[in-house]
Amino acid sequence: MKYIIAVIQPDRLDEVLKKLTQKEIHLVTVSSVIGRGRQKGIAEVYRGHKEQGSLLKKVKLEIAVNDEFVEPTIKAIIEGSRTEKIGDGKIFVIDLSECVRIRTGERGNEAIG
């Protein structure tokens, strides 16, 4: 299992969710965050979403998936958020050791989807 974290432009969220849904990826956590990439928030201000200092408003998605869904998830996020301009975002993939559905006590592959 993997835990996929993506930081994207807020105005790409709807499109990313659409692409994920098309690939049967429905379970997701979404947060509003602030952050900066390698331009340190400076050159990207023209894309809007300016927050404080050098930090810009972003949206963070967190998706826990079974291994066969890792590549489809990455692909969907890219399809929904790539504009080829700076600040399109980044995807991080982390090994996930456990997942528990609280209601049933199911674990691992059973609990994740």
41/50 Cα distance (integer angstroms) = 8
What track of x and - describes contact with Mg ion for positions 42 through 81 (by CB under 5 A)? ----------------------------------------
Site for ligand ATP in 39-58 (CB under 6 A): 39, 56, 58
In the list 88, 93, 108, 111, the residue contacting ligand ATP (rule: CB under 6 A) is 88
Q: Measured from the CB of residue 88, what is the shortest distance to Mg ion in angstroms?
A: 8
60/13 Cα distance (integer angstroms) = 9
Q: Does 89 bind Mg ion (CB under 5 A)?
A: no
Q: Does 39 bind Mg ion (CB under 5 A)?
A: yes
Is the CA virtual torsion 46, 52, 56, 58 positive or negative? negative
Report how far apart, in Å, the C-alpha atoms of 20 and of each of 14, 25, 34, 36, 49 are.
10, 5, 23, 25, 24
Q: Measured from the CB of residue 58, what is the shortest distance to ligand ATP in angstroms?
A: 5
Question: Which helix (H) or strand (E) element contains residue 30?
Answer: strand 29-35
**Sites of contact with ligand ATP (CB under 6 A):** 7, 35-39, 56, 58, 86-90
